[in-house]
Amino acid sequence: MNGPANTGKGFLPLDIAGVMNTGIEEWFASYSDPVPSVFFYEIRDKLTRCFSENKPDASAKPDLHQIWLANYKIVFLLSDYYFKYSMLIAAEKQGYAGLVTDVKMDFDTARELYRKTIFSNVRIQRRPFPKNLVDRYRFIRQNKFDPGAFYPGFNDRRKNYIIGDRDRAEIKFYLEENGIDPYFINPTLLLSDGGKNLNSDQEEETKSIVDSFFSRIFASFPETKEAFDESVRRTIFEIIIDKYRHYFTFFDTLSEYSISGRDLIVCPCGNMLFRLFCCAWRRHGGTVTGFSHGNVYSYIYTPGDINNGSQLILDRYITCSKGETKLLEDSRKDFRNGLESRAVMETCRNSYYRTVFTSVRNGPAVDSVKKVMVVGFPYSFDVYNNMSYLHLEMSIVRTLKDAGFQVLYKAHPDSLSDASAFFTGMTDSVITDSFETVYNMADCVVFPIHYSTTFGFTLMTNRPIVIMESPLLTGWHPDVEGLIRKRCSSVKLSFNERSVFSFDREEFIRSIHESIKRTDQGIVETFAF
């Protein structure tokens, strides 16, 4: 678990602010990962198995079964917490004095920060009255001032309903194709303060299932006992109790209406409030339909959403292409862990991607590469290995600049401010506009990590592409790999003696120049249409 030894007594940067406080050059030259990144995946896989094995019986305890599956993200919370907990122990052993962000802190302070931050903002709260008032007006307007939208905010005369983002391009395409005009529901308007109180039996069965979960963890992963102490276990119990209460609030509200046989469209299906509403909807006999995020047709063969529990609340899942469906179905078969979705997959009759493809293929072909765009990583607190990818992106940028290229850095929407501050001056331009409006500024696009809807979009353009292939990511589907090689140049990443990403600089520069020869659109024609 421990990474390489570090003899320094400085402070280990936690984020971009910490790097800038330390000094970018000093950090870049000396940074090492206290705990190898692969350790996170080992933790997650073990906790996922424990979570799956701990599912309550659906026939004996249907409500608790629904709540348990709705809370699949506790696996990620605990994995992230234990990874960072282990990182602090390793960093202290390696001689670091503490962590640094915008301020310096000792390890005890850092542990408390991690605990508070990772487990904060996971409880459901009603929005303040002014925001609630705005939500209600938008709700009424989106339902075209239907009388049922005024109070209590529901209309059970429709066949189709929707919660979430109805303006997503993929959803609008599907709705228009099928002539569906769903009634919009905003679950936040149906919340009560704290949710419905549970009886003693419900609280006891919840405590029992949480205790059982941690017993399984400690049996298969005994080294976690100190990290997952009574305080952490109590926090997880309170998180699930909180969700249970709001689930029953929705359950009671929906009991006043005729739900059976009615379909609820949800997007995104990872939103916890939406998940609870969907669970209550299904318990009343309704069905739930989820949607593809879009532009995932090339890389969706992973142990990701289809198998990590997020889609267990769905009856149907709408993909954007038949190729996308194939990769998802193969993921179900090849990455089994007990949390794979059984939702029936359906595909739009016409390919949504064809419209996108037609609109972005215009423009002259690239015959030489002078400007390279690097697509940035999302540097948010809950991403376990931020610093590894920051170090990688800085290495990529420097290699490109040393080779004489103009470098454009496309900051991720989740970290526009921090990434802009870091890469300004290091690159020729930091871009914060949407990728779809700026991709043609570059002669070549580099993806340090290709698990991105931006990657799927770029495949449909005529821009040359270079992908950095991380050992942390699942390999390509056998039917995809050959087609990807015809469309993209690629460079293998590895970990050096400091557990930091490394790559062959000469090979990388060659891949930039060679990328203009890889224009085959077989991957799009086979899997997007």
What's residue 19's pLDDT? 93
What's residue 149's pLDDT? 64
Picking from 16, 118, 133, the residue whose alpha carbon sits closest to that of residue 73 is 118
Q: Where in the chain is the domain with CATH 3.40.50.2000?
A: 361-527
Which helix (H) or strand (E) segment holds residue 400: the answer is helix 386-402
**Rounded distance between C-alpha atoms, residue 113 and residue 419, angstroms:** 22
Task: Kindly give, in sequence order, each residue whose CB lies less than 8 Å from that of residue 62, ignoring residues fewer than 6 positions away.
Answer: 283
What's residue 3's pLDDT? 45
φ and ψ at residue 286, rounded to 5 degrees: -85, 170
Residues 82-113: b if buried by 16+ CB within 10 A, e if exposed: bbbbbbbbbbbebebbbbbbeebbebeebbeb
The total of other beta-carbon atoms located within 10 Å of residue 474's CB is: 15
What's residue 336's pLDDT? 87
CATH of domain 361-527: 3.40.50.2000
Picking from 516, 494, 467, the residue whose alpha carbon sits closest to that of residue 298 is 467
What's residue 1's pLDDT? 53
The total of other beta-carbon atoms located within 10 Å of residue 306's CB is: 24
**Rounded distance between C-alpha atoms, residue 309 and residue 301, angstroms:** 16
8 Å CB contact between 377 and 393: yes
pLDDT mean by block of 10 residues, the chain; 529 residues: 53 91 94 89 92 94 93 92 93 93 92 82 73 79 74 70 89 93 90 82 96 97 95 94 94 90 92 94 95 87 76 93 92 88 90 87 87 90 73 97 98 88 94 94 96 93 96 92 98 92 97 96 95
Name the token pair of 293: 């995020």
CATH of domain 129-196+244-357: 3.40.50
**Rounded distance between C-alpha atoms, residue 240 and residue 80, angstroms:** 18
pTM of structure:
0.90
8 Å CB contact between 332 and 304: no
Picking from 312, 369, 374, the residue whose alpha carbon sits closest to that of residue 343 is 312
